[in-house]
Chains A and B, each alone.
Chain A
Amino acid sequence: MSLLEISNLHARVAAPGGRDILKGVNLTINAGEVHAIMGKNGSGKSTLAQVLAGRETYEVTDGTVLYDGRDLLELSAEERAREGIFLAFQYPVEIPGVSTRYFLKAAVDAVRKHRGLSELDSAEFLDIVRQKMALLKIDHSFISRAVNEGFSGGEKKRNEIFQMAVMDPRLALMDETDSGLDIDALKIVANGASTLRAPDRAILVVTHYQRLLNYIVPDVVHVMMDGRIVKSGDKSLALQLEEKGYDWIEKEVAASTAALA
């Protein structure tokens, strides 16, 4: 059974007269795989990640999403998180006055409670945190600082990857984790994410650029255009896109649509 099965997913902005953004997405991801979704600005790739995470500013109008065989769309955002879905944000949010440590402890305990486990005591929690920090080479001062407050762009993204490591998700959604990073920061973040590859975990990477995929090598690359996945292939597709841009795919799609009509 696949970990994630998206069929004919349609979604729009949840407001009167809201724009349609997803227009029939089909995508299947198995545990252990890394998938990349590429596409131009406005193609709907970030929206897909947010809809999967349960953002209520989008409304699903059609289609189904099965997560581990269950109807994902029935679950609230926090339930999805507790069931093992993690969204690494494109623009991580600041929570002034709340330490990263306190925030993460609340998160981990919420997940544990959901799974019928007791809350971690501080020592157990710190053990896990230290281990993940060592793995991702993150400075210890990180956890005493307020969540993302005063963090540089690179630090914010590293914090996302760090949280992802601590939360230990089954499905990790990385929403343009590479945006706004210089090449050094990109390497650190991407290598960190790539260490989180695991046989029981699937990773969906949403990105503009091929360069991130040098570090997190995808099993499958998808191209999204106008709210649909229009082409899928192996990692060479990403290289082709880098070289030739998106125009040739647009032409291909136009040709096949014309042929169908």
Chain B
Amino acid sequence: MPTETTEIESLANQAYKWGFVTDIAADSAPPGLNEEIIRFISLKKGEPDWMLQWRLRAYAHWLNMTTPHWARVTYPPIDYQATIYYSAPKPKKKSIDEVDPELLAAYEKLGIPLNERAALAGVEVAVDAVFDSVSVATTFKEKLAEAGVIFCSFGEAVREHPELIRKYMGSVVPYSDNYYATLNSAVFTDGSFCYVPKGVRCPLPLSTYFRINAKSTGQFERTLIVAEEGASVEYLEGCTAPMRDENQLHAAVVELVAMDNATIKYSTVQNWYPGDKNGRGGIYNFVTKRGACRGINSKITWTQVETGSAITWKYPGCILQGENSVGEFYSVAVTNNHQQADTGTKMIHIGRNTRSTIVSKGISAGFGQNTYRGLVKVLKAAANSRNYTQCDSLLLGDKCGAHTNPYIDVRNTTSRVEHEASTSKVGEDQLFYCKTRGIALEDAVNLIVNGFCKEVFRELPMEFAVEAQKLLSVSLEGSVG
């Protein structure tokens, strides 16, 4: 229908609200990637030698790797020598009161107060703020320490808790894991570390807010969360970047470890700059996230809302090793204009009676290409395991694409794997129905899209769900008009 098509395409591209640049003096490495740069990063971060050696091993390995091309994304080759691998705002802070006011203002503008008195959305959340290559502030540390919870920047953890880092870092995502994870292992600059000791229920949700600010800079952060026996923690992650014409690289690694009866809930709202409506600029988001359910009855839940980035390449997975362990993956991925997303999960069932649930919602608009790629692997030992996968795609307009690539590999006869998939289109009839009830076109689209994503949004903490809905409406503004 001609009216429908023009409607669905003509909404003007709404400005990316988080696209501002903070004018702050930075201490940066020269562009380029070599051993010297890695030594420079390590030195800047005051790292012990074992950490430097680990980086160098990763780098040596990376030099022999080739860029993976199996994902349904296209982009020109990345010039790794043109990227800056370290950029830190200066002067370096000593405590929260000494954080540069410019930085505080930047986070304030993003809606992330670094002042403990002004808690996030009226709810107390401990925040670690990572600005380019360094963590600039972590809030509520004392309150968490009282409960025995360690929450600090990754750099600090390397210095202050080396025994924990050496024990767990690389234990879920080894430095040789894949091209981008290996690159990250060589050049990572900061990130968050969280350790919840035995039997402790973390008293606050933890959150890291990642911000890329400096030009030509890549962000390579690592996050490591360990929940000991009977521990539980909820972690939220958000990210934004300025609007720039060139593409910037973000290659993160996240490792989660859940011991016996431990629970980790990890939620992401990814809103890196997606590029303009012609596909210029935007973040290349190549991320490796994996959780290990090591203990019996352990549980890891990944929830992600991916609205940003020019390219998203990520597959948060769970290794279900402990008996009765549970892995969950709930995802909403939006691609508008020329965005490309190839995202999904890997559920590896190793222990007996392990269960996994996958709910993936892909929304494509404009020229967006949205691919679900998921692996469900049930090993021989994983008797009586179960997986349920639901994979839904929603199309807005007729120039976008949705693709579903499930891989299922079951090695025993007692397990059960289910896969359901659907593709639908926001139709003229649905929009007209809403309009005859007085609901404006954009509100109608939001209503329909939010209804489509409901099963994922209800997994998010309340304040994050509200944020995610708003973000979704902004991301899709411009897709229907």
Interface residues of A (CB under 8 A from B): 14-15, 53-57, 76-78, 80-82, 85-87, 89, 91-98, 102-104, 106-107, 110-111, 114, 146, 163, 167
Closest to B1 in A: A57
A97 touches B450 (CB 8 A): yes
B433 touches A98 (CB 8 A): no
Task: Known A57-B428, A96-B451, A97-B450; judge A78-B441 contact (CB<8 A).
Answer: yes
A78 touches B453 (CB 8 A): no
Task: Known A57-B1, A57-B428; judge A78-B435 contact (CB<8 A).
Answer: yes
Task: Known A56-B3, A57-B3, A93-B429; judge A77-B451 contact (CB<8 A).
Answer: no
Q: Compute how far the CA of A115 lies from the CA of B7 in the bound complex, rounded to whole angstroms.
A: 26
| Chain A hits for B453, CB < 8 A | 97
Q: Compute how far the CA of A93 lies from the CA of B428 in the bound complex, rounded to whole angstroms.
A: 10
Give the interface size bracket for B toward A. 20 to 34
Q: Which of B3, B440, B447 contacts A98 (CB 8 A)?
A: B447
| Chain A hits for B448, CB < 8 A | 95, 98
What string of 1s and 0s marks CB contacts (under 8 Å) between B45-72 and chain A?
0000000000000000000000000000
A110 touches B437 (CB 8 A): yes
6 further A-B contacts with Cβ under 8 Å, apart from A77-B432, A97-B455, A163-B437, are A15-B2, A54-B435, A95-B448, A106-B437, A106-B443, A111-B438
Interface presence of B147 (CB below 8 A): no
- Least distance between B392 CB and chain A CB atoms (Å): 9
| Chain B hits for A82, CB < 8 A | 438
B452 touches A81 (CB 8 A): no
Q: Compute how far the CA of A174 lies from the CA of B454 in the bound complex, rounded to whole angstroms.
A: 31
Q: Compute how far the CA of A85 lies from the CA of B439 in the bound complex, rounded to whole angstroms.
A: 13
Sort A-B residue pairs by CB-CB distance and give the 5 closest, nearest first. Answer: A97-B451, A98-B451, A107-B437, A81-B438, A97-B454
| Chain A hits for B452, CB < 8 A | 96-97
Q: Which of A55, A56, A57, A107 contacts B438 (CB 8 A)?
A: A107
Q: Compute how far the CA of A103 lies from the CA of B451 in the bound complex, rounded to whole angstroms.
A: 10
| Chain A hits for B437, CB < 8 A | 81, 103-104, 106-107, 110, 163, 167
The A contact surface, by secondary structure, is mixed
Interface presence of B95 (CB below 8 A): no
Q: Compute how far the CA of A103 lies from the CA of B450 in the bound complex, rounded to whole angstroms.
A: 12
| Chain B hits for A103, CB < 8 A | 434, 437, 447
Q: Which of A14, A77, A80, A167 contacts B2 (CB 8 A)?
A: A14
- Least distance between A182 CB and chain B CB atoms (Å): 24
Q: Compute how far the CA of A92 lies from the CA of B430 in the bound complex, rounded to whole angstroms.
A: 9
Task: Known A97-B452, A98-B448, A98-B450; judge A106-B439 contact (CB<8 A).
Answer: yes
- Least distance between A177 CB and chain B CB atoms (Å): 14
A-B pairs with beta carbons under 8 Å apart, 14 shown: A15-B1, A15-B2, A56-B428, A56-B432, A57-B3, A77-B432, A81-B437, A106-B437, A106-B447, A107-B438, A110-B437, A110-B439, A110-B443, A167-B437
- Least distance between B342 CB and chain A CB atoms (Å): 25
Task: Known A14-B2, A57-B1, A95-B451; judge A81-B435 contact (CB<8 A).
Answer: yes
